[in-house]
Amino acid sequence: MMDPRHSPEAEAFRQRVQAFLAENLPEGWQGIGALPRDEALVFQSDWRKTLHANGLLGVSWPKEYGGGGLTKLEQVVLVEELAKAGVPAMGASDLYSVKMAGGALLAWGTEEQKRHFLPRILSGQDLWCQGYSEPDSGSDLASLRTRAELDGDEWVINGSKIWQTRGREANWIFLLVRTDPTAPKHAGITFLLLPMDQPGVDVRPIRNISGSSPFNKIFFTDARTSTANVVGKVNDGWAVANSVLALERGDEAATHPVQFRAEFDRLVAMARERGRLGDPVIRDRIAAAYIRVETMRYLGLRILTGVLTTGTLGPEASISKVQWSEYHRDVTRLAIDVLGADAMVLEGRAPIRSHQADDPGAPNSTASWVGALYNGVADTIYAGTSQIQRNILGERVLGLPKEPGSR
């Protein structure tokens, strides 16, 4: 059995995190998933403040921008320990704020942009959403049509975006806009930051299969933002967009499996409680799920090693996205088969997150597993569908010919 260990420095940091958790978590803590929904939401928001106050948010960001100044490996150790303890590593909007907006600014922002935006992201003063997809541009993102035109020292934006998760909470959006309609489609795009609190921005909720509305449609009518809010170069936003997508797709490859393993253990407990472990087909599917979780763990370590060696996350992030999202789709279907007809009657609380596994400590209730199934349906779509990840792997990792009709 392989027993991979991190460096001694990283293991010393692990002890620091464990001491922090022992000091800051309530007696008898079972994981945020064990809290009723309302309490879990309050806990998540308070916990973010605790992480920030202890320098554990943006832990690998440079200190001059409010970060912890630690290494990427220490960040992974932190997320591993938080996942094991069943507490979130971030706030509800931080996938978009800390990870994506922060990640884009760290990699591509000007010194002035970093000094202005990064501390505000960590303090929670600014909340961000991602303005990529449009009604006719999802997988073929580079076909986007939302326009930005220069007017003095401002860009004027017209068009619409769709599926913006947490768009109603956000006060800033990072947008892909077309700034040169005459250039080839990938070449005329700019990555712009835009304040949402202005008359030209209209955010409307979209209701999903679970009845909630985590995402939105956003209309821009002569919305304005300063020319100082371009990230990277004008008409060169495609490069920025891709590096943010890689962060969205693969950055957590090493830590996701911890969460999936906790969910898997809950599934086995449920199958046992319901007397389904004697069913040979269920046993076979559970064994296959176990193999996939363990494979993900080692793949995650491989991707992490690549990031630590090269400093970047490339198209191989797509391997992780395909693996975990398809695993989660399949394992939640298995859970519903274990529940059988009981899955038609929702009892207990639904997951508090709208993607991936339900939180550690979640009860084996029907609402938890059906909610996880709904998340599983979305997992293979957002951040690029499985088909698109396979195209990326074929073309950019394996060097196969491009699909017919593409550039």
Beta carbon nearer to ligand FAD, 67 or 138: 138
Beta carbon nearer to ligand FAD, 54 or 213: 213
DSSP β-bridge partners for residue 134 = 137
- CA–CA dist 237, 114 (Å, integer): 17
Beta carbon nearer to ligand FAD, 13 or 163: 163
Q: Indicate whether 305 belongs to the interface with ligand FAD (CB under 6 A).
A: no
- Part of the chain binding ligand FAD (CB under 6 A), chosen from 45-53, 189-197, 281-289, 384-392: 384-392
- CA–CA dist 298, 155 (Å, integer): 46
- Part of the chain binding ligand FAD (CB under 6 A), chosen from 10-18, 57-65, 375-383, 392-400: 375-383
- Part of the chain binding ligand FAD (CB under 6 A), chosen from 127-135, 191-199, 322-330, 392-400: 127-135
Neighbours of 197 (CB within 10 A): 8
Query: Which of 134, 248, 252, 316 is labelled catalytic?
Result: 248
User: Pick from 379, 385, 341: which is nearest to 357 by CA?
Assistant: 379
- CA–CA dist 106, 89 (Å, integer): 19
Beta carbon nearer to ligand FAD, 82 or 162: 162
H or E element, residue 85: helix 72-85
Beta carbon nearer to ligand FAD, 82 or 176: 176
Do the Cβ atoms of 304 and 254 come closer than 8 Å?
yes
Least Å from the CB of residue 346 to ligand FAD: 20
User: Pick from 248, 375, 366: which is nearest to 318 by CA?
Assistant: 248
Beta carbon nearer to ligand FAD, 165 or 286: 165
- CA–CA dist 58, 182 (Å, integer): 39
Residue 74 designated active-site = no
Beta carbon nearer to ligand FAD, 8 or 211: 211
DSSP character at residue 141? G
Amino acid at 260: F
Helix axes 72-85, 280-310, angle to 10 degrees: 150
| Measured distance between the N- and C-terminal CA atoms of the chain, rounded to whole angstroms | 45
- Part of the chain binding ligand FAD (CB under 6 A), chosen from 3-11, 59-67, 77-85, 128-136: 128-136
- Part of the chain binding ligand FAD (CB under 6 A), chosen from 65-73, 149-157, 177-185, 383-391: 383-391
Render 175-235 in DSSP notation, one character per residue: EEEES-TTS-TTTSEEEEEEES-STTEEEEEE--TTS---EEEEEEEEEEEEGGGEES-TT
Q: Indicate whether 385 belongs to the interface with ligand FAD (CB under 6 A).
A: yes
Q: Indicate whether 238 belongs to the interface with ligand FAD (CB under 6 A).
A: no
User: Interaction with ligand FAD in 131-170: which residues (CB under 6 A)?
Assistant: 131-133, 138-139, 163-165
Q: Indicate whether 382 belongs to the interface with ligand FAD (CB under 6 A).
A: yes
Count of positions on this chain that bind ligand FAD (CB under 6 A): 20
Applying CB under 6 A, among 47, 65, 108, 215 the residue interacting with ligand FAD is 215
DSSP character at residue 97? I
- Part of the chain binding ligand FAD (CB under 6 A), chosen from 106-114, 151-159, 283-291, 386-394: 386-394
Applying CB under 6 A, among 339, 384, 389, 392 the residue interacting with ligand FAD is 384
Q: Indicate whether 61 belongs to the interface with ligand FAD (CB under 6 A).
A: no
Q: Indicate whether 235 belongs to the interface with ligand FAD (CB under 6 A).
A: no
- Cα–Cα distances (Å) from 71 to 15, 54, 114, 311, in that order, read 16, 16, 19, 11
Provide φ and ψ at 299, rounded to 5°: -60, -40
Residue in the structure block whose two tokens are 């969460």: 259
Using CB atoms, what's the residue nearest to ligand FAD?
138
Beta carbon nearer to ligand FAD, 132 or 324: 132
Q: Under the rule (CB under 6 A), what is the footprint of ligand FAD? A: 129-133, 138-139, 163-165, 215, 378, 381-382, 384-385, 387-388, 391, 403
Write out the catalytic residue numbers: 248
